Structure 1
Amino acid sequence: MFSLGNVRVRTKLIGGFIIVSLLIGLVGGLGVISLKNVGKKAEGIYSQNLRVVYILTDMQANLERVRGNMAELIYVKDQAQKDELKKSIANDKEENTNYMSEFESINISDEEKKVYEEFQKNITQYRSLRENVIKLVDEGNFEEAEKQYVPIRKVTEPMFISLDKLININVDSAKSANDNIKAINASSNMIMMALSIIGLILAILLGVILSRDINKPLQKIKMFGEKLANYDLNFDFEVTRKDEFGQTGGSLVIAQNNIKELVKTIIENSQSMSAASEELSATVEEISSKAINIDEAVNTIASNMQEASAETEEIGASIEEVDSSVIVLSQKAMEGSNNSNESKVRAKEVKDSSKKAIEESQIIFNEKKNRMLKAIEDEKVVENIKVMAGTIASIAEQTNLLALNAAIEAARAGEQGKGFAVVAEEVRTLAEQSAEAVKNIQETIEEVQKAFKNSIDTGNDILEFINTDVHKQFTEYEKTGNQYYSDADFVSTMSENIAAMSEEITATVGQVSEAMQNMAQNTQKSSEQAEEIRESVNETTQALEHVALTAQNQAELAQKLNEVIQKFNI
């Protein structure tokens, strides 16, 4: 047999919401379908009925206007007015033709098609008669035109009747469609209202049923929890459901039985635990008193070991200071050796430089001496130039005298010697210029001779300085470099000996330091082990204190458990 209590809560809730959702979807779907039908009907009213009525009424108006223009065309005599009337008739004809084409493209009923066929016959006959009348008017046969106009009236009446029928058919169709829309709207509203009421009632019923189905087991579980909170384990909870609430109730019943067993076990063992706690407290007190004695002895050993370790550390520190001093001495000796080696290198460089400088100064001395000798030889050439300049001056003087004599002879010759006088004057002028140039050359040569003499004197002084002072100074530098090299070699040898002895001392001190470090490490290990023993004893003492405290707490806890257990009703 189906029972709602055996269905899962999730399934019940989801099922209820699905039912309500289906009803809401059904109402919404009906509303959408109804609105869609109403939209189609309304679109049909506009696209067919109202549009057809608009076309037909315009055609009626155009035909009425054409009929009036035809009557006026017969009796009007003004040609311009006639042309205007014919143009209006042609425009109305064209507009009606377009309206007829548009009407024929619309999906109309069989009744409308039958009436429209009658209208087409009438309008075809009407247009034929109208064109005949217009032709007669154009020919000026107004009497015949007036006679032909009479049948037109008979044809227009059925034509207008057909248009009225078509208009009435579409108006009635629009009214019928409107009534249909109202009926659809009313029926849809009734159905949607009925479904909404059904959905509301069903939702309320589902809510009441589900709330009762959920609330009833919840109340039982709440009551069961209150009993447990009040230490009442003698409460029967009957599980008849298979949903989550039934599973929760079954788990609570199992928990109730487990608590009962636990309380029974605690009642049976709490008294034994209290007695064991008292015995444990007494044993711990005895062990604690013995641990205190051990701790005092270990403290004495540890303090003695610490003093020995401190003294060993002081000795080790002194040895380290000696070792560091020896290391510094060795480093200084090595630095002195390195510096002396560098000094040897520099002394050798000085010696080599001095020797090279002496050789170069000797080369320079010889080179400058040779150049001085060559300059003295060159001075003799200048002296020769001076002699040649004197000879040229003597020649210029004699030429001047000859020119003067020639001028005197030319003056004596008169006109015949005038040309020769001019040449003699030019020669005399040239001789004077030559004498002046020779004089300048002689002065320049004297200055050059003075400069040569000064240069030779200066060169002799420089050669004398190089040969005496510079050479002597470089020789002294070479001697100093040799002495400097010997001293540096002595310092280097002594520094190397000091460094070697320092290394031997360092090795010896290192052995002593290593022995002291081993002794210090052994002392430190002994001290640490003593300290570890003391800490272990302290930890043991503290652990015993904790054990004693735990035993006391355990006894108190056993007492409290007894008091709490008394509250349970099993």
Structure 2
Amino acid sequence: MKNNRGMRFSIRLKIIIMSIMINILICTVMGITIYRFVHTSYVKSASEDTLAVTQIAAKQLNGNLLSLLDAGADDSYANTVMLEDMAQVVSSANISSIYTAGTRNGSLVYLSRPVSDGIAIGAGVESAFQAGMNKALTSDGYVSTDINKAASGAHYITAYAPIFNKAGETVGILGVDYIVDELVNSLNAIVRTIIIIGIILSAVSALVSILMAGGIVSGLNKVERKINDLVSNDGDLTQKIEIKGNDEVTDIADGINSLLEYIRDVVSSIYTSSSKLSGSVDTALDTTIKTNDQLDTVSATMEEMSAAMEETSASLQQVQGSTSKIKEDVQGMYSSVREGTDYAGRMEQRAMEMRQHAEEETNLAKEAADNMADNLNAKIEKSKAVEGISGLTQTILEIASQTNLLSLNASIEAARAGEHGKGFAVVAGEISSLATNSADTAKKIQKISDEVISTVKDLTDEATKMVDFVREKTVDGYLQLMDTGIQYQEDAKKISEMLKRMETASQNIESSMNIVSDAMDDVSTAVDESARGISDVAGAVSEMSDNMNQNREVVNENANIAQQLDGEVNKFKF
């Protein structure tokens, strides 16, 4: 089976390319390693040879003459001899350049040097060379491991060796640029050899890779053909891949056979589950439809309950308003009863005070009447004697004065008694007049003595009547007033007790109304919460109904998927 996926890289090509790249990498690493090892060995050997040649050449030079050289001594005898000796060294060895240097005035300067270099004696040494020269001045020599290239194209290695005078003192150094072209040529030849060997190994590796890839791809092609056979047999999972051998391709074939067996079991299980799923989907669809219908009924019931709860809430609000009005009326009644109780208490107190006052006045009236009777009797007995007229007259005047005072007190008490004291007020007025007349009469007694006996007799009769009248009318009036005060006190006490019971009843009614009001508030809150709960339930039922509709759509989709799955599974043979 071919797939159009753009440029295709076969497994064989991948194996060949990978093998060639690995071989190139290995050859490159090996070549670089070998080259570095050979390069290091050759350069080390050439450096040692260069240092040895330089040390030998330095021993051939005259150190005493070198110590005489200084700036401006280019044409001196010492410089001429030094140049000749240096020319002999160059002719006997493969040297590109030779020169001497030394310390003058604390600085490194060039000394004897071939004229062709164009550098005079005393010229300062470049800073790049000073480190090596200083090392050579304090040791047996110094050689660089770097291969440099001259302007002429020659390759060289630089070495420095100390020059001694006859006393064995270091007077300068000899610098030699030793030619190593043969070394460079040898290294280049080695590089070429490594490259050629790498190419040969790469070619051999490519050939071996082609052969190995052919064997691997051959087995894979067999597996591919078997898989194509399986595909072309319309899902026949009873087919097997049979490949002889004992390598990874055989393992792949066995794995594919195991996979086919597993797929066969899975498809069989899917077929069984698909049949069950179809039945379950049908049942779920019927259940969903019934549930949706029931949810519609529940939703309508919830709406009716919500309306009923709203009506109940409105009724409760009316009841709460009536309860509040009754509570206010009860509170007003309690205030009125409380005021009545206080007034009854005050009325009872006044009745008690009136009774006590009437009792006191009755006792005083009795005492005054008794005293009056005793005095009258005594005076009457004395008035029988004419000689006692003056004394009796004086006594009568005193009695009249006391009677007048009693009359005044009786008038005051009659005024306090109200309607009951009107008759007593008349009597008190008469007593007052009688007292006045008695006083006038007493005054006339002194002038009219012949009328004394008759007047005394009349006075005795009238006094007796007056005492009887006082005892019968005044004392009885005070007794009636006292009885009235007692009855008034008892009535006020009963009224006070009744009002206290009404006050207690009002308090109980107010407490009951508070309890009823609180209960109505709780009921109203519960009704409101129930209404909200019913509203939430109605919303949830509506949402559930929508979800059930979506669920029915999903069940329908699952039914279609189950049918498609049955169709796909039936394509396989297992």
| Pairwise same-fold verdict (TM > 0.5) | no
Q: TM-score, normalised by structure 2?
A: 0.36
Which structure has the higher relative contact order (CA within 8 Å, separation 6+)? 1
Q: Which structure shows the higher helix fraction?
A: 1
Q: Which has the higher strand share?
A: 2
TM-score norm. by structure 1 comes to 0.36
